[in-house]
Structure 1
């Protein structure tokens, strides 16, 4: 059996407009028979307006007639022609429990400090926060900035590890593509070849290197002095 769109509203309409048993209505709408009885007694769904399952294409007149003729017959729901239009394909915004909402600035600070490559839109979607909150944390203008510290969002229970890794991976890949598109990271200037170190002053060879000095070579020849 296909799920019925707006089960309680459909049950309200069937209670008000048919003579089906509570069990038949409950089976068709996916409710408990006592809940259908509560609707009939006015104790349940008093403020809910009935939804015609025949009008929205979830039930055929033939199915309803067969159920009227046989109390043991269980109606089969049809795929409503409006059901697909009423169902939204957009992923609903992430719900963060109230007890965890004060932890989001800490998680934002963690992204700012550890993964600046992750875009604000990704952080907002992942944590269920707003860009203005992210800006206030990044610019340190948040009202509670004195108490905000970077904490892993997985540790805080705001997101799963696999989902976090996927976001970080995509952000890193995008940064690499952007760097490659812009010519890659700037190269450091080439270092000029170092000049060879000065060899220093080398003294000339000693004129007497290898010869032992003698008295004659130091004081001269005695005979020359007498002349």
Structure 2
């Protein structure tokens, strides 16, 4: 049985549904393939900061009638409309991502944002997405980076280091890997740690302690 289709940009879609509908967190989470707590985090502005909402009605993924019916009955679950157009295949670049010199100082901010908001994303995917190094990721994670006190979490899309589509694809891959791992763990009778308890995941911080841009490290092209 084929897996149920989900929005290509789940968090952007969830942001729009939270802001523009009265759907429950469970309904939005089910449609977007997210956890209800992630949707609650979006509503509380703790998750998906800087992500612009995407209207699923304009995108042809939902109809206004579907949304209205679901708003009236919390038990109703939204279903993706058949795609009108085929999405082009996004090929992964084998060569290291080139980042203009003017934006290289923003990489640590972007890495820190991903570590905080998507701790499930493997270092290899962060390296491909941002164009950084494993050593730098580890230093930022351990807060041993030379400029750690000035690093702040900023959405890489906002910084222009990647597109929203590239970010959502990377997040979707990471979430799919974690789902497969959870299923394997369930079959084995074990339980995976929550994302915030994963080894190396950055601890929650207060805004005052949160670190501004890197100026001297990472000269990769």
TM-score normalised by length of structure 2: 0.43
When Rg is computed on C-alpha atoms for both structures, the one with the higher figure is 1
- Higher relative contact order at CA 8 Å, sep ≥6: structure 1 or structure 2? 2
TM-score normalised by length of structure 1: 0.42
